[in-house]
Structure 1
Amino acid sequence: MKKTLLVLSFGAFAITSLAGGIVHNTNQSASFIRMPARDASLGLDGVYYNPAGLTQLKDGFHLSLNNQYITQTRKIYTNFPGLNRDGFEGNVVAPLFPSVYAAYKTGKLAFSLGFNPIGGGGSALFEDGLPSFEMQVAGIPGSLSNAGIQTTKYSFDTEFEGRSVFYGVQAGASYQVNEVLSVSLGLRYVMLNNSYKGHLSDIMINPVFSALNYTGEMVSAPVFFGELSGYLGNVSANLGAVGSSLQPVLDGGGGNVPLSNGTSAGLTAQEVATLQGTIAALGGDPSNMTIAEAQGFFVAASAGYAANSQAMAGNAAATRDKEVDAAQSGTGIVPIIGVNLKFERFNIGLKYEHKASIKVKNSTKVDDVGLYPDKAEVPSDLPAMFTAGIGFDATEKLKVSAGLHYYFDKNA
């Protein structure tokens, strides 16, 4: 029997509410629904999109409160062979997606504050788990069949819910250098919160293994692997005992005697026949073996069965019910610089947000998969981002806008 060892684990999962980089959200204003290209905005949502453009506001205090109710259906498809399904569906819900902006403009200066979900902002519930979960279970029948135990089916119960949000609180100052050029400088304090909750349980398979009276009915995978481990352990012990029983023959000088002539070294004819039959059943050729070689064969076979027994014990542990209930939190600082160029009929906004180096700390209630050790810290950086936008007043009633976003995701 070939040694087959399985490893089952939960994978981390991040939720992004709308388009952007792998982390960033760009829907940071209710006006985004009407005009997604906000990067040259001269309105109050410029606190986020184009802070240097705030110098174009009228003097005085300005306040904006927004909220978006966001729902999405996430569908994940896979062509991984052997799965019971090729599609997995999750529902994303973000009932609160607020954007709060305030600015005070006086002369050539503008001071601003902002609060919004910079990244994430929702939860995703996959009632049938994720492909990465089922892939691990789906491999069990093939692995067992390759090891000589015919198995064709599997079943299990799973569910996964992930939540992720990067809240940002920012402050900045903008200055109008001249009629065309304005610049800005700001800082954003980022608060990251993730949570992962799910389970993978009741793994069932249908092995055919007559030695343990398994006939192809669906049975508990960990129970089967546990019993198989015990069976292989007993076989290992018995083979080891046979090898040890030949030691007196070797001590008496009969090690080089052909096994087929073992009666001349003190073995009975029945013992010789049993040894030869067992060796043949295990895939060996006893015809040319000496008694010493026969002993070595049994010792090696015993070690092989012991290793398989340990592997099956590992499979029993790997297929037991798994649960995870963990949260992560961390903070970071993002410096923000901006430039705005205002011309008669068009406006250009430029912004660069630096990378935020963030380490999140685990707060774990249950971690059967060993991925979220309690109080451990792991990096979860917020990548840098560059945006450029242009707004053109084609007529008094028509404005054309375009934007470009570049996310430095590979450097995070």
Structure 2
Amino acid sequence: MKRSVLFSAVLVAVCLVSTDLLANIDNLSNMSVEWMRTANRNAATDRADIVVYNPGGITELADGVAINIGNQSMRREPEHSYNAGMGEKSFEQDGDDPFLPNIYAAYNRDNWALWGGFYIPGGGAVVDYPTGSYTTNVLIPGNIAKGVADFIGGGLTGNDVFATLSTSNESLEAESMYLTFTLGGTYKFNDMVSVALGGRYIDADNSIEGTVAVESGNPLFNGVIAAGGFSDNKVDVEESAEGAGYILGLNLNLTERLNIGVQYQSKVELDFEADVKQDNLGLYVDGAENPRDFPAMLGVGVGWDILKRFYLEANYSYWFQEDADWGTDAQGRDISDMAGDTQSCGITGTIQWTEGLATSIGTVYTDFLWNDIDGYYSANIGSYEVLYSDNWQVCGGVSWQITKTVEVNAAIARTIWDDETITDQNTGLEIKTENATTTVALGANFTF
């Protein structure tokens, strides 16, 4: 009986990690190398990557075939720390994310255009804490301690749970990938107005591997731990979901130098189903489903050719996270309501030095409209390892027309997140977070 209670407590914690850690890496904007060197593409009409930024403007491309390919490599630096009265403990991400690829294609003829692409609008990153994290160091042991204490009448609460057990051989590694395919068409009514209609299909896969070894740190639990033989409990779980949505686009070419692009991407409903590869506890629910919809998005951009060789663009994007189903927490609170919506705004400039050589610099600020940041982090165990907060990106790059049909692009960007101090509602502890990312991107454009 005691063993069952102990294992059940661990199971609850592990289930929370596996269902929430990965699926909430949402709302990526960096889906092409062109975006990485400008940070603003909602009004662009010059490359095939506008399939995902301004599909209504694709008929502004030259007749024929346009192809855009690219890859991004990221060095992420999330850190978090806490102090439970026994000195500060800190945890850092280890490793890089070398691959975030994309490919887009468009075919234009007269007033019509067909377009499609493959890209990753969410995920694309690995969470790797080889020596553990707040989740493996505090939350899982804390849940064990609470479960055992409740069973034997110990009544442990708050910070007391962290003095009862010590952990060793901790590790946490997780990966998320939202593979997305899009297909649609654009029609140009006249020199001023073009509209687009398309669809997108998302095939999302998450995986998590974690190990927590719990040793007795208090005589109160010696008999329980010994009887249960509790050590080196491993979890290897994969989750998958698929869904589809629609895309609407509008492009207004107001003058030869002023262009406005608007697009709306609908919500994509995603229910992640668990596939248990390994579960030493023997109690994990194989086939359990958890909702994590991909939010709808509205993007608006204004592009202005101020001079013949200088282009200026301003963007605004909004993600309707509150309308997505992200499930509820243990108290029945809606998780997406706690998160609130997200918005971003930015500006970029491009100088065309010669017919074949251009440089760009841009910036974008992303604002999380939290309704309850502490509640969201507390309900989504694993958020401390990924980190979500307002952030500022500065980027730049170069494009070079090598031949009549081939252009290459290169970009580098630095993104810095606001530091946050989160009060975890499960433990009462304050968790301090900081994050920064450096991204290098390379790509090419082909026209035929």
8 A contact 2:167–2:212 mirrored in 1: no
8 A contact 2:33–2:72 mirrored in 1: yes
Structure 2 partner of 1:297: none
8 A contact 1:93–1:124 mirrored in 2: no
8 A contact 2:215–2:225 mirrored in 1: no
Q: Following the alignment from structure 1 to structure 2, what is the Cα–Cα distance between the partners of residues 138 and 360?
A: 27
Q: Following the alignment from structure 1 to structure 2, what is the Cα–Cα distance between the partners of residues 50 and 91?
A: 36
SS at match of 2:275: strand
Displacement after TM superposition at 1:226 (Å): 4.6
Q: Following the alignment from structure 1 to structure 2, what is the Cα–Cα distance between the partners of residues 374 and 165?
A: 21
Q: Sort the Cα spacing of 1:114 and 1:324 in 2 relative to 1 into closer, same or farther, 3 A.
A: same
Which of 73, 85, 93 aligns to 1:90? It is: 93
Which of 391, 401, 406 aligns to 2:303? It is: 391
Q: Following the alignment from structure 1 to structure 2, what is the Cα–Cα distance between the partners of residues 15 and 83?
A: 30
Q: Following the alignment from structure 2 to structure 1, what is the Cα–Cα distance between the partners of residues 165 and 262?
A: 57
Moved more, 97-106 or 376-385: 376-385
Letter in 2 for 1:111: L
SS at match of 1:391: strand
Q: Following the alignment from structure 1 to structure 2, what is the Cα–Cα distance between the partners of residues 406 and 400?
A: 21
SS at match of 1:93: coil
Q: Sort the Cα spacing of 1:385 and 1:371 in 2 relative to 1 into closer, same or farther, 3 A.
A: farther
CA distances 1:107-144 after superposition (whole Å, capped 9, x unpaired) = 11110010011210121101232213322436859x79
Letter in 2 for 1:346: L
In the superposition, the TM-score normalised over structure 1's length comes to 0.66
8 A contact 1:116–1:168 mirrored in 2: yes
Structure 2 partner of 1:177: 189
8 A contact 1:83–1:138 mirrored in 2: no
Q: Sort the Cα spacing of 1:115 and 1:339 in 2 relative to 1 into closer, same or farther, 3 A.
A: same
Displacement after TM superposition at 1:37 (Å): 0.8
Q: Sort the Cα spacing of 1:191 and 1:83 in 2 relative to 1 into closer, same or farther, 3 A.
A: farther
Structure 2 partner of 1:115: 118
Q: Sort the Cα spacing of 1:37 and 1:359 in 2 relative to 1 into closer, same or farther, 3 A.
A: same
User: Which runs of structure 2 are paired with 1:242-321 in the superposition (5 Å)?
Assistant: 316=228, 320-321=231-232
Letter in 2 for 1:193: D
Which of 159, 162, 170 aligns to 1:158? It is: 170
Q: Following the alignment from structure 1 to structure 2, what is the Cα–Cα distance between the partners of residues 29 and 369?
A: 43
Displacement after TM superposition at 1:179 (Å): 1.4
Q: Following the alignment from structure 2 to structure 1, what is the Cα–Cα distance between the partners of residues 103 and 283?
A: 36
Q: Following the alignment from structure 2 to structure 1, what is the Cα–Cα distance between the partners of residues 36 and 210?
A: 33
Q: Following the alignment from structure 2 to structure 1, what is the Cα–Cα distance between the partners of residues 62 and 283?
A: 53
In the superposition, the TM-score normalised over structure 2's length comes to 0.61
User: Which runs of structure 2 are paired with 1:121-200 in the superposition (5 Å)?
Assistant: 121-136=124-139, 137=141, 140=145, 154-200=166-212
Displacement after TM superposition at 1:387 (Å): 0.9
SS at match of 1:26: coil
8 A contact 2:304–2:313 mirrored in 1: yes
- How many percent identity over aligned positions? 30
Displacement after TM superposition at 1:339 (Å): 0.7
Displacement after TM superposition at 1:201 (Å): 0.7
8 A contact 1:83–1:135 mirrored in 2: no
Structure 1 partner of 2:248: 337
Moved more, 151-160 or 333-342: 151-160
Q: Sort the Cα spacing of 1:322 and 1:84 in 2 relative to 1 into closer, same or farther, 3 A.
A: farther
Letter in 1 for 2:259: N
Moved more, 88-97 or 186-195: 88-97
Letter in 2 for 1:28: M
Structure 1 partner of 2:345: none
SS at match of 2:52: helix
Which of 54, 72, 75 aligns to 2:76? It is: 72
Which of 49, 52, 71 aligns to 1:45? It is: 49
Which structure shows the higher strand fraction?
2
Please tell me whether Structure 1 or Structure 2 has the larger radius of gyration of its CA atoms.
1
Which structure shows the higher helix fraction?
1
CA distances 1:83-117 after superposition (whole Å, capped 9, x unpaired) = 66432211353222111011000011110010011
8 A contact 2:197–2:249 mirrored in 1: yes
CA distances 1:20-40 after superposition (whole Å, capped 9, x unpaired) = x95121111111221001111
8 A contact 1:74–1:91 mirrored in 2: no
CA distances 1:341-389 after superposition (whole Å, capped 9, x unpaired) = 1122221111111111122222211234688522233322111111111
Residue 363 (structure 1) aligned with residue 375 (structure 2): no
Q: Sort the Cα spacing of 1:46 and 1:363 in 2 relative to 1 into closer, same or farther, 3 A.
A: same
Q: Sort the Cα spacing of 1:388 and 1:372 in 2 relative to 1 into closer, same or farther, 3 A.
A: farther
Structure 2 partner of 1:263: none
Structure 2 partner of 1:285: none
8 A contact 2:166–2:214 mirrored in 1: no
Q: Sort the Cα spacing of 1:392 and 1:185 in 2 relative to 1 into closer, same or farther, 3 A.
A: same
Q: Following the alignment from structure 1 to structure 2, what is the Cα–Cα distance between the partners of residues 113 and 169?
A: 7
Displacement after TM superposition at 1:206 (Å): 4.5
Structure 2 partner of 1:323: 234
Q: Sort the Cα spacing of 1:65 and 1:361 in 2 relative to 1 into closer, same or farther, 3 A.
A: same
Moved more, 329-338 or 390-399: 390-399
Displacement after TM superposition at 1:41 (Å): 1.4
8 A contact 1:323–1:367 mirrored in 2: yes
Displacement after TM superposition at 1:69 (Å): 1.6
Q: Following the alignment from structure 2 to structure 1, what is the Cα–Cα distance between the partners of residues 217 and 232?
A: 14
Q: Following the alignment from structure 1 to structure 2, what is the Cα–Cα distance between the partners of residues 349 and 30?
A: 19
Q: Following the alignment from structure 1 to structure 2, what is the Cα–Cα distance between the partners of residues 122 and 177?
A: 41
Q: For structure 1, which runs of at least 5 residues remain unmatched after alignment? A: 210-220, 228-312
User: Which runs of structure 2 are paired with 1:163-242 in the superposition (5 Å)?
Assistant: 163-207=175-219, 223-226=222-225
Letter in 2 for 1:377: E
Q: Following the alignment from structure 2 to structure 1, what is the Cα–Cα distance between the partners of residues 292 and 281?
A: 20
Q: Following the alignment from structure 2 to structure 1, what is the Cα–Cα distance between the partners of residues 49 and 116?
A: 11
SS at match of 2:307: coil
Letter in 1 for 2:81: Y
Q: Following the alignment from structure 1 to structure 2, what is the Cα–Cα distance between the partners of residues 82 and 175?
A: 64
Q: Sort the Cα spacing of 1:25 and 1:185 in 2 relative to 1 into closer, same or farther, 3 A.
A: same
Residue 55 (structure 1) aligned with residue 59 (structure 2): yes
